[in-house]
Chain A
Amino acid sequence: MYKLFLRSLISVLFFLGFSLNVNAEFKVGFVYVGPTGDHGWTYQHDEGRKAVEAAGIKTTYVESVPEGADAERVIRQLAQSGHDLIFTTSFGYMDPTNKVAKDFPNVKFEHATGYKREHSNVATYSARFYEGRTLLGHMAGKMTKTNTIGYIASFPIPEVIRGINAMTLAAQKVNPDIKTKIVWVFTWYDPGKESEAAQALIDQGADIIMQHTDSTAPVQVAEKAGVWSFGQASDMQRFAPKSILTSIIDDWAPYYVERSIAARDGTWKQQDTWHGLKEGMVAMAPYNSAMGDDLVKEVEQLQKDLASGKVHSFTGPIYDQKGNILVAEGAVADDGMLAGMNVYVKGVEGDIPQ
């Protein structure tokens, strides 16, 4: 009798376990570095997550996860709790993602803005934000009266330096007297510090403010001071309706939906994605009509040319600050050079902090 009971119990448990396994739904997890309401970087990633959800795939997310030991714990927990695909959306998650990927070969991982793909289940993706910076540079060069562009920079990594260079090159093309003043704030997200930096740049004569940080504080300072500004990562227009000329928008949604469906259907493959205006991963918010119809048309044309590949953000001749040639006349910088960019081009003031 006892044995019979035990046997039936085991079979019931086995059956339960089996059915749970069959029913295990396909789930996608997201790890964010900031709060979903930052109206910049993380906000846009979460918009992408919502698109995945709208496509009928279940998602979960963890926000404000510091880069470091905590990140690995969070990623591991998502992998353990039955997520089949995990997007880790900050540069600093690079090593933790690869570490967890090793222990969960059946789970797929996608790491944003990184370059390490140590296991076959890790893919990386990023956007060519610098194409957007080229457009900003063109507008800034045309709109400035003081010939001084103020740039709030976060950390001296290739990604940020690339943006500064792309912007400066485009601005120089339309206005050879342009100067780029840079303030490094060493944070992605500190509204107080970002607004102090914006104010310092305005006090130093900049009448164009742009940022490679995530809060809306700089555009608000620009609005108050009556100078032009550009939004970052998402459309910040409503925070500075008069001042903002446009915003660079990171549109992750199509990529997230495509990769999630691929993972669900078993067609997911490891890859390194670097999409730009052409694929729509970088998009521009509506242009402010205050800059005049002619300029708007010019910029729209330039946007089309960048998307079609007719114009490249880094077309030679390009010189560094000392006058050494970086890219020969007529050539364009290759992706390897762009990915490792660590010098300023001619016309940028100051040194890159070490």
Chain B
Amino acid sequence: MSFDLNFIGILIGAIMASSVPLILAASGELITERSGVLNLGVEGMMIIGAISGFALMVVTDNLFFAVIGSMFSGLIISLIFGLLTQSLLTNHVATGLALTIFGIGMSAMIGKNFVGIPGKEFPLLFLSLKESIPFVGPIFFGHSIILYFAFGLPFLTNYFLKKTKTGLIIRAVGDSPTSASNQGINVTLVRYSCILYGGAMCGLAGAYLSLIYTPQWIENMTGGRGWIALALVVFATWSPIKVLIGALIFGGITILQLHMQAVGLRIPVQLLSALPYIMTIIVLVVISRDSRKIKLNTPTSLGQIFYKEK
């Protein structure tokens, strides 16, 4: 194995690329959860985003429409979740699980006609810089625009939640919907918006998979990344910056274990594949010992149904 700097740069670049869908989906879900809504349908919304992005790419031959369309379809699917949980007051957990099952089935049905069609090349930015600068080049350049967006998103989300009025309102709704409602905030409206935003981001995460990462449509192609994203939100204890770090760790484990195998190192592959989940459990144990740390960011009303008193 060549341990030169450029190789390490390439490795870091690969880790970043693999963490993008996790960052996007987890950042979206984080906003949804901070408003007090637990949407377990991340996997379903991602897969719907993946198929609609790919289908639109094939039909319109336009990548811009494909990306926007995938976000829109993620939004539509999450609207179903919103209607059920916010207007019809169904249980969040059950509805979210149903949404995932629905999304996987629905995407397979739509996808029937799009199997086996090669994808289109997605433009990568600054390719010449990637080649010419060693180490730094492969890390910072030669990625798709969605990757740059994904890496900026946690910082934007952090700023939005902490420094803006809207962010404050979302947190207030998540922590105590009753008091927020008494202050004259329309809790249902806020929660609807957060659900829709989460849906759009999950749709985008799916489109990243079907348009850029493995440019084709394959049934069930999200392969459980939606569940890892959900675990990631908990792993990050609802803090956007930690989502970014967690996504890089989770993505890094996959890439590193493949590289270690390619060098011929003896490692228990199955253990490494299970590591993201094991780490999430460890984090859960650690944070539950320190109640001050959880309270900092945890939305207290997470998953609870809100009845407005008339």
Q: Which of A190, A201, A349, A351 contacts B223 (CB 8 A)?
A: A190
Known contacts A183-B262, A192-B209, A195-B213, A37 near B116 by CB under 8 Å: yes
Q: A181-B262, A204-B1 are in contact. Are A38 and B218 (CB under 8 A)?
A: yes
A186 at the interface (CB under 8 A from B): yes
Q: For residue B156, give the distance in angstroms from its CB to the closest CB of chain A.
A: 26
Cα-based distance from A239 to B14 in the complex (angstroms): 22
A206 to B2 alpha-carbon distance, docked (Å): 13
Do A196 and B221 form a contact, CB below 8 Å, given A37-B115, A37-B116? no
Q: Interface residue count for B (Cβ, 8 Å)?
A: 38
Tell me whether B14 and A196 are in contact (CB under 8 A).
yes
Most buried by A among B10, B214, B265: B214
Cβ contact of A220, chosen from B118, B225, B262, B264, cutoff 8 A? B118
Q: Which residue of the partner chain, among B7, B115, B269, contacts A186 with CB atoms under 8 Å?
A: B269
Per the 8 Å Cβ criterion, residues 143-199 of A in contact with B are 150, 181-186, 189-193, 195-197, 199
Name which of B258, B264, B268 has the most chain A CB atoms within 10 A of its CB. B258
Contacting pair A204 B263 (CB below 8 A): yes
Chain A residue contacts of B115, Cβ below 8 A: 35, 37-39
Inter-chain CA distance A349–B263, complex, in Å, is: 8
Question: How far is it, in angstroms, between the C-alpha of A274 and the C-alpha of B86 when the chains are bound?
Answer: 60
Give the residues in chain A near B215, CB-CB below 8 Å: 220
How distant is A175 from chain B, measured CB to nearest CB, in Å? 19
Q: A222 to nearest B CB, angstroms?
A: 13
Q: List A contacts of B209 (CB < 8 A).
A: 192
Residue of B at shortest CB range from A224? B121
The answer to the question of B91 belonging to the interface, with a C-beta cut-off of 8 Å to chain A, is no
Of all A-B residue pairs in the complex, the 5 with the closest CB atoms, nearest first, are: A37-B115, A350-B264, A200-B258, A349-B264, A204-B262
Selected A-B contacts with CB under 8 Å, 19 pairs: A37-B111, A39-B116, A64-B219, A150-B262, A183-B261, A185-B258, A190-B223, A191-B221, A200-B261, A203-B7, A203-B11, A204-B263, A216-B116, A220-B118, A220-B215, A239-B118, A349-B264, A350-B261, A353-B268
**Interfacial residues, chain B to chain A (CB-CB below 8 A):** 1-2, 7, 10-11, 14, 18, 108, 111-112, 115-116, 118-119, 209, 213-216, 218-219, 221, 223, 225, 254-255, 258-259, 261-266, 268-270, 273
